[in-house]
Amino acid sequence: MPSRWRRSTDGPPRSPRHGPGVEVYLLPTVVGGGLGDIEEVLAAGRRLARAGFPLRLYRRPGRPLPPGVRGPWDWPPHRRVARLLPRAPAALTVTAAWGISAAPSRPGALGRPGPWADEVADIETAYGPDQVLHVSLEEFARTLVTRAETRERLREGGIPARALAGRLRDAERRGELETFRTAYTRFRAFDRKNVLPLFATFRCSAGFRREFPQAVQAGPLWPRQYRTRGNAMDRPRSIHGDWVWYASPASAERIAPKVLEGLEGVRPAVHLYIRSPRPWRALPPSDRVTFTTEPIRSREWHRRFAAARVRIVTGSRTLLEALEVGGPFLYFNGILGRGSRMRRHRPEKIVELLEVARRSGVPPSLRRDLARFAQGIDVAGVVRRIAHRSTGWEQLRASTLRAAFPPPFEDAGALLTAIARSLARDAGGASELVQRVRRGVVS
């Protein structure tokens, strides 16, 4: 989560033979509109820094950083540099959606270069193109085959459920599926030999792997920001403490009155702490609600989040934080439309989690409440039930969700570390390593 901006200066050059073999360049930027894109790149940097790899933030002189990157953020230890002085024979870059944020200019529509394209060109020139491996962190848990992706696009666009099948057939006849597949391949940089598109998710999609063999699926990139002694789920649950809500979607304001209604009769009384990136037009005055749009230091946020009695989260990063901390949470990623045409925005993360939860033995009643809240349905009722629920959470924590992939693919952070180590000792180059990883072989 956001914290203060830390800047460090470059030190004296070192000979490559004394370095770790690989230097890591972080290329953070906002891709999908949420700040989680930046936090995910920094989370990857933290894992690589802990493994001993030096981190760099390189930006050409005179070029401002992309919007949002200045933070405040909780940066891992790094050096900000304005010129490249390679100290290792190879480099690894980490960015969100490389094909959008770092690809060079291309002919045709939407062909403008990404905000990190100039820096990537410089890095490849300094180290050599095949001595640079680009890790592209793609959208979490979004591993839909083309047909399912097209159906989702139509659903989110407002096509009623009863009309989806016919509309999907029309799209197929008009060639929309093939158009999507071609654009998806292009903007996920599947054609780049030294780009590794990494799709972190809760479970492997065999259909996605068949359709897009260039994509690499792995378990979540866990935040690793919370440390608890023993298993938090084995300790008695406190009935005190705030509810903490990371209310990023604009439609969070729509369900807020129902959240407050559900908390009205809860005893002991609950204080609701709401953090939003934008002001709300109307919020009922109450001494039991704190609403803020101000940046919060990482340490303060982690303390508040970990101590919360219940956490309401969104997107992928705070969802993974809630699973890492363990304990009660609700998920809301936004809703579109109203009445009978109301529908969830980008529901794949909660859908995938609930399927894993079903296989893990999470009670149907808890899965149902999580699903209904994510849909914006029966919000007050769900809040009342979750406020008093003490069972079912023991199967919904990070440690129960790591077995979907073999090591080191079970944890995207562990996979990144293994890739960096392999690149450091491998003379075969980045392209060969990318091919091996796509086949499920890292070392």
pLDDT, tens digit, 9 for 90 and up, residues 340-397: 889 999 999 999 999 999 998 999 999 999 999 999 999 999 999 999 998 999 989 8
Residue 183 lies in a domain: no
pLDDT value at 299 more than 90: no
Query: Do 251 and 395 share a domain, yes or no?
Result: yes
User: CB of 105 within 8 A of CB of 329?
Assistant: no
**Reported pTM:** 0.91
Q: In b/e form, how buried is each residue of 358-388, taking b as 16+ CB within 10 angstroms?
A: eeeebeeebbebbbbbbbbebbbebbbbbbe
Residue 49 lies in a domain: yes
Residue 97 lies in a domain: yes
Query: Do 61 and 200 share a domain, yes or no?
Result: yes
Residue 63: domain span: 16-138+188-219+406-438
pLDDT value at 28 more than 60: yes
pLDDT value at 2 more than 70: no
Query: Do 239 and 362 share a domain, yes or no?
Result: yes
Residue 229: the pLDDT is: 44
Query: Do 259 and 200 share a domain, yes or no?
Result: no
Query: Do 42 and 106 share a domain, yes or no?
Result: yes
Residue 3: the pLDDT is: 36
User: CB of 319 within 8 A of CB of 349?
Assistant: yes
Q: Which 8-state DSSP code applies to residue 335?
A: E
Q: Which has the closest alpha carbon to 437: 405, 397, 409? A: 409
Residue 273 lies in a domain: yes
Query: Do 387 and 241 share a domain, yes or no?
Result: yes
Record the tokens describing residue 161, joined without a space. Answer: 């459920």
152: exposed, middle or buried (Cβ count in 10 Å: 0-12, 13-18, 19+): middle
Give residue-wise pLDDT tens across range 389-441: 989 999 898 877 766 899 999 999 999 999 999 999 976 799 999 999 999 99
Q: What is the mean pLDDT of residues 184-212?
A: 97
Which ranges in 244-363 belong to alpha helices (H)? 252-263, 298-307, 317-325, 348-359
pLDDT value at 234 more than 90: no
Residue 233: the pLDDT is: 39
| pLDDT > 70 in the chain, percent | 92
Query: Do 239 and 331 share a domain, yes or no?
Result: yes
Residue 261 lies in a domain: yes
Give residue-wise pLDDT tens across range 51-73: 999 999 999 999 999 998 987 88
Q: What is the per-residue DSSP string for 64-77?
A: PPPTTTTSS--PPS
Query: Do 21 and 132 share a domain, yes or no?
Result: yes
Query: Do 209 and 104 share a domain, yes or no?
Result: yes
387 Cα distance to chain centroid: 27
Distance CA 433, CA 423 (A): 7
| pLDDT > 90 in the chain, percent | 79
pLDDT band at 323 (very low <50, low <70, confident <90, very high): very high
Distance CA 139, CA 221 (A): 11
Distance CA 215, CA 381 (A): 41
Give residue-wise pLDDT tens across range 255-273: 999 999 999 989 889 999 9
Residue 402: the pLDDT is: 64
Q: CA torsion, points 196, 148, 337, 160, in degrees to nearest 10? A: 170
Query: Do 265 and 362 share a domain, yes or no?
Result: yes
Residue 181 lies in a domain: no
Query: Do 361 and 245 share a domain, yes or no?
Result: yes
Which residues have a Cβ under 8 Å from the Cβ of 163 and sit 6 or more positions away? none
Query: Do 276 and 394 share a domain, yes or no?
Result: yes
Residue 128 lies in a domain: yes
Residue 428: the pLDDT is: 79
Residue 178 lies in a domain: no
Residue 19: the pLDDT is: 53
Q: Which CATH number do you get for residue 390?
A: 3.40.50
Give residue-wise pLDDT tens across range 152-192: 999 999 999 999 999 999 999 999 999 999 999 999 999 99
As for how many domains the chain has, the answer is 2
